[in-house]
Structure 1
């Protein structure tokens, strides 16, 4: 089963008030194995406030030459295909995306293919905080990631670990690599050297076991010591 872990950054909290998407980050999961990713910055044609910039660190100057949503929409839809969408507080992310897709008369993301990790986390930790930072600490994943600023791809990668841990899949040692898994070189072989004792060495070893540790497991290996 193919799943897409998704996160966005925006110019504000409500698209109905004119706010827009400024960054999209996605991580692909194939049968719970990390695959490729999708990442785009987007010019919102809207001036970001200083308060907003403090959240994600993305400036107006940085976004000036970035594509519009309409320029990346088809590429985004091609990446997610008909896969399940995994997001934290999914109504926020999917709401913004569907608003933009509807304006372009593009297919929207249906609710029946969306999984909200907030719901999963609340079932796992009832009555506790379940924001992404809290879950990182509870589940002890990606504890070394710099969280001074939010970032769509960064948060999607973190959410990937969180999602898998919430499902009970041990992700110790998992690295969200920029490369696809098929690019990894897994052809290395172990060079094992077989050690063969001479007849005299074997007899000397038996004699040592017999005289010094006759009740050991070593002695039981040879019928002479039973």
Structure 2
């Protein structure tokens, strides 16, 4: 049984919001969590084959000059496939990152065997009193130390990983669930907010 505390947390910086509109990844950052411990990191810039807009340069701090000497997307994504292995995957607002991961890997005819979870959807259910569920807001809500710049892939992945461990710690503390599975956390993300207590309590009763 795959546990929710062992997975790959990833984040993309991109030329825009939709690979269906031709946007490409320009940076990927990822961290590996094994049994609740961050054990490895992956970060690469990648040259999408065209210039990025001034807005993206300003938003991410990634410049055209930085990308000019970076390897191409195909090379980086092939390397990232090896980093993923057979792990499950996690991202904050995972639908966005999954779209880009799927699009980039389809170009090199590669796939990944794991499944995705979304820390945004899970946080909405576990931290219902948070002002909102943006990554930065949740980091503050959980009193997680933050020393770096959001909108860079590795930093965002590291912050998401720390948020994820805080989510799992909260679930364990409040419900006694120390070994929640990846499959159960996916179900939690789809459970109505009003039913979260009942859902987690039932899991805890089964675990005992």
Q: CA deviation at 1:68?
A: 0.8
Structure 1 position 72 matched with structure 2 position 73: no
Structure 2 CA distance for aligned equivalents of residues 72 and 125 of structure 1 = 35
From 92, 106, 130, the equivalent of 1:102 is: 106
1:157 CA displacement: 0.9
Name the TM-score, length of structure 1 as normaliser. Answer: 0.69
> Which consecutive unaligned segments of at least 5 residues does structure 2 have?
171-208
Q: Tell me the SS of whatever aligns to 2:32.
A: strand
- Which of residues 126, 135, 138 is equivalent to 2:138? 135
Query: What root-mean-square deviation, in Å, do the aligned CA atoms of Structure 1 and Structure 2 show?
Result: 1.8
Q: Give distance in 2, aligned partners of 1:109 and 1:48.
A: 31
Q: Which residue of 1 aligns with 2:124?
A: 122
Q: Which residue of 1 aligns with 2:169?
A: 168
Contiguous gaps of at least 5 residues in structure 1: 170-226
Residue 7 of structure 1: SS of its match in structure 2? strand
SS at match of 2:133: coil
Aligned partners of 1:7 and 1:152 also within 8 Å = yes
On the 8 A contact 2:8/2:89 being kept in 1, the answer is: yes
- The whole-number CA distance in structure 2 between the counterparts of 1:101 and 1:34 is 25
Q: TM-score scaled to structure 2, two decimals?
A: 0.75
Q: Of Structure 1 and Structure 2, which has the larger fraction of its residues in helix?
A: 2
> For 1:168, what is the secondary structure of its paired residue?
helix
Distance 2:140 2:113 in 1: 31
Structure with larger RCO (C-alpha < 8 A, sep 6+) = 2
Aligned mates of 1:22, 1:125 — CA distance in 2: 32
- Paired residue secondary structure (1:40): strand
SS at match of 1:107: coil
Give, in whole Å, the separation in 2 of the partners of 1:46 and 1:90.
26
Separation in structure 2 between the aligned mates of residue 28 and residue 77 of structure 1, nearest angstrom:
13
The list of structure 1 runs, each at least 4 consecutive aligned residues, that deviate by more than 6 angstroms after superposition, is none
Q: Deviations over 1:74-113 (max 9, x none)?
A: 2111111110101101110111011111121111466xx1
**Deviations 1:41-64 (Å, cap 9, x if unpaired)?**
000112111111111100011100
| Bigger radius of gyration among the two | 1
Helix, strand or coil at the partner of 2:128: coil
How far is the alpha carbon of 1:19 from its aligned partner?
Answer: 1.0
